[in-house]
Every structure is written in structure tokens, then in C-alpha cells.
Structure 1
Amino acid sequence: MVAAYFFDNDDSVDFRQPHNSGKDVSLDHLAKLGVIYKHLPSQEEVDSLAEQRGYKNRDIMNLNAARFDNNEQLMVEKMKVFYKEHIHEDEEIRYCMDGDGYFDIKDSVLDRWIRVRLDRYDLIIVPAGIFHRFAVTTNNYIKALRLFKDEPKWQAINKPEADQNPIRKSYLATLQTA
């Protein structure tokens, strides 16, 4: 079962640490934010979901210390790019093939971060317009399948520009009607 909980907001601790506040978050709570989690232990299940949701393209992201000449500090510095609070104009779909990592999802209603740990065979769909960020765990390794509806693209829109983005405003409107 997936680990999802409110982030402890302790910035004095490495962002790759669990940061578990001890307050769990249910899958129903995530669903109200538009976040979908699934555990899919077979490639056939991933392919079926991709077909159902119209994902036509995919690639594999492999983050590990070897990509950074086994320099952990260099890897941590590069990973800070993914850890900045941002949105995308398309939904973000990640399937953990191996390793582990964290997706932090901003609950805009409660104005709190929710940390979702992804382990092997976990899939997360983060809706367009929601603030989020990503971190590897202290294992410094994740191999993830990225799925895309159209041509692969990854355009992060950081704060404060994201606050005025039409996709962001559209996302916030869905929360008010839920």
C-alpha cells in the first residue's frame, strides 16, 4: 500500500528524507485533488491504463548516482531542479519500474504539502495545474516510465509565474466545484 502523508515542513532536514508528519493522507483525499494512484505489478496493466487514458508516447527516466559520476553532492544539486514547486500544463504520469522516490503534492485547499512515496510498480497521475515537486529517496535511485498523451515534453512552470497560468486557474476551479 502506498505511503501518503502530510509533509512535516522541516527544511533543516535533507529533502530526500521521509519528512513524515505522522498524519496519513487517504487515497480518497488525493483523488479529491485530482491525483490518481495505482499499484500495477505488470507491464500489461500499465499498457492497458495507457490505452484507456490515451497515452501515446513514453520514455524512461533513470536517475542514479552513476549519471553524476557517483558524486552524491552533484546529484543532490541537480535534483533540486525537480524539487522546486511547479506545475505542468499537461498531466504528469510516472510509473516506478525500480527504486523509489517522492512526489510532493500541494493541497491548495488546506495549503499543505502531501508526500507520496513511490516504490516499484507504483503509478501516479498528477493533474495539470497542481503544484508539485519530486525527490529521490536517500537511495538516490529511481527508474521511472514517463507516459505522455502527445509528444514527450516536460515544461515546468515555477512560482510565481504559475499562479497566473490559465491551466492553474482551471485546476483551482475544479477544486471549488468538487
Structure 2
Amino acid sequence: MVKVWRMIDNVVDPRDQCQRNPPEPLKLEDLSEIGVLYYHVPEKSGLEKIAKERGYDSRDEITINREKMPNYDEKIKNFFEEHLHTDEEIRYIIDGHGYFDVRNKNDKWIRILSEPGDLLILPAGIYHRFTPDHDDYIHVTRLFQGLPKWEAHNRSNTTDSMNERKEYVQKIESN
């Protein structure tokens, strides 16, 4: 089952668990409240079903580790920069571990431990970031509608005024 918690405010090493003291575990309801969907999908057939239901017809795989990813340190730094996307972000963990961090309604960080079989769907317009854990290894399937694209918009005053961000904020405020 997915592990989710409120993060500390001052992160020294993003690959640490970054738990508060005392820990503040959260539930799936805390994720769904902000539009984040979680599924445990141990079989590839379950992934195919969800992809079909949500209209995902394209995919790629990425292995994030020092040996397989050129410019590893730079890319990890970019992944951990707070950003949003104009499309839903859907990631299925094949192997390894990492952390997806998302902002709650109060603009506080929530950390999601992502492990094999986890499928996360982040809504368009949500601020988030990613880092592998200390093993520096995660193998992920990324799903897309149409051609694969991955364009991050780092958080700024400009991103707050993007239509996708405004729509996202309006949707979660009405929950």
C-alpha cells in the first residue's frame, strides 16, 4: 500500500524520507482531495486497462540512475525543481523507488513513496517534483495521450496565471 506523509519544510537531502518529527502520515483521501490518483497495479494487464480507460495511447520507459542517464546530476536537479505540466502526468513504477512530492491545498509538501506496481496520476496544473531515493534507481513507464511530451513549467508568477493552474486551483477549492 502506498506510503504518504507531510514533509519537513527544510529539505537537506531530497533523497531522504524527509519525515516530520513526529511523523505525519497521510491517507489516500488526502491525495484524492488534491486530485492525485493512486492505484496499485501489480500486473501489466491492469496498467493496460487504466491506460485504455483514460485514453493513453502512447508510452515510453525511462530508467533513472547514474549509469544509464546522461547528465544524471543535472537531470535529477531539474526533476526536483518545483513545476507543473499542462497535461496530466501518469507514471507507473516498474522497478526501484522514488519520491513524488505534491503541494496540498495549504501549499505544504506531501511526499509519496513510489514503489514497483504503483501508478500515480497527477492532474494538470498541480505543483510537484520528483527525486529517486538513496538507491538512485527507478524504472518508470510514462503514459501519454498522443505523442510523448514532457514539458515542465517551473513555478513562478507566470505559472500561477496559466489556465491549467487556474483550473486546477478552482477544482480543488470546490472540493
1:113 matched to 2:105? The reply is no
| CA-CA distance at 1:76 after TM superposition | 3.4
Q: TM-score, normalised by structure 2?
A: 0.94
> Who is 1:165 aligned against?
162
| CA-CA distance at 1:126 after TM superposition | 0.2
CA distance in 1, matches of 2:170, 2:37: 18
1:18 matched to 2:17? The reply is yes
CA distance in 1, matches of 2:9, 2:44: 36
- The 3-state SS of whatever aligns with 1:93 is strand
Which residue, 128, 131, 134 being the options, matches 1:132?
128
- The 3-state SS of whatever aligns with 1:117 is strand
- The 3-state SS of whatever aligns with 1:134 is strand
> Who is 1:100 aligned against?
97
Structure 1 letter corresponding to 2:135: N
| CA-CA distance at 1:139 after TM superposition | 0.4
CA distance in 2, matches of 1:18, 1:173: 31
Structure 2 portions without partners, runs of 5+: none
Hey, which bits of structure 1, 4+ residues long, moved more than 4 A?
A: none
CA distance in 1, matches of 2:99, 2:63: 15
- The 3-state SS of whatever aligns with 1:24 is coil
| CA-CA distance at 1:68 after TM superposition | 5.0
Q: Which has the higher helix share?
A: 1
Q: Is the 8 A contact 2:90 2:120 kept in 1?
A: yes
Which residue, 131, 143, 157 being the options, matches 2:139?
143
CA distance in 1, matches of 2:135, 2:9: 21
Map 1:53-92 to 2 at 5 A: 53-67=54-68, 75-92=72-89
| CA-CA distance at 1:67 after TM superposition | 2.4
Q: TM-score, normalised by structure 1?
A: 0.93
- The 3-state SS of whatever aligns with 1:50 is helix
| CA-CA distance at 1:150 after TM superposition | 1.7
Task: Describe the shift of the 1:102–1:164 C-alpha distance in structure 2 as closer, same or farther (beyond 3 A).
Answer: same
> Who is 2:34 aligned against?
33
| CA-CA distance at 1:176 after TM superposition | 1.8
- The 3-state SS of whatever aligns with 2:24 is strand
- The 3-state SS of whatever aligns with 2:87 is coil
What percent of counterpart residues are identical? 38
How many pairs were matched up? 172
Q: Is the 8 A contact 2:40 2:117 kept in 1?
A: yes
Q: Is the 8 A contact 2:63 2:69 kept in 1?
A: no
- The 3-state SS of whatever aligns with 2:141 is strand
CA distance in 1, matches of 2:146, 2:69: 30
Give CA-to-partner distance per residue, 1:133-170, whole Å, 9 cap, x none: 00000100000000011211000011112111110001
CA distance in 1, matches of 2:137, 2:51: 24
Give CA-to-partner distance per residue, 1:102-125, whole Å, 9 cap, x none: 000011x22200000100111100
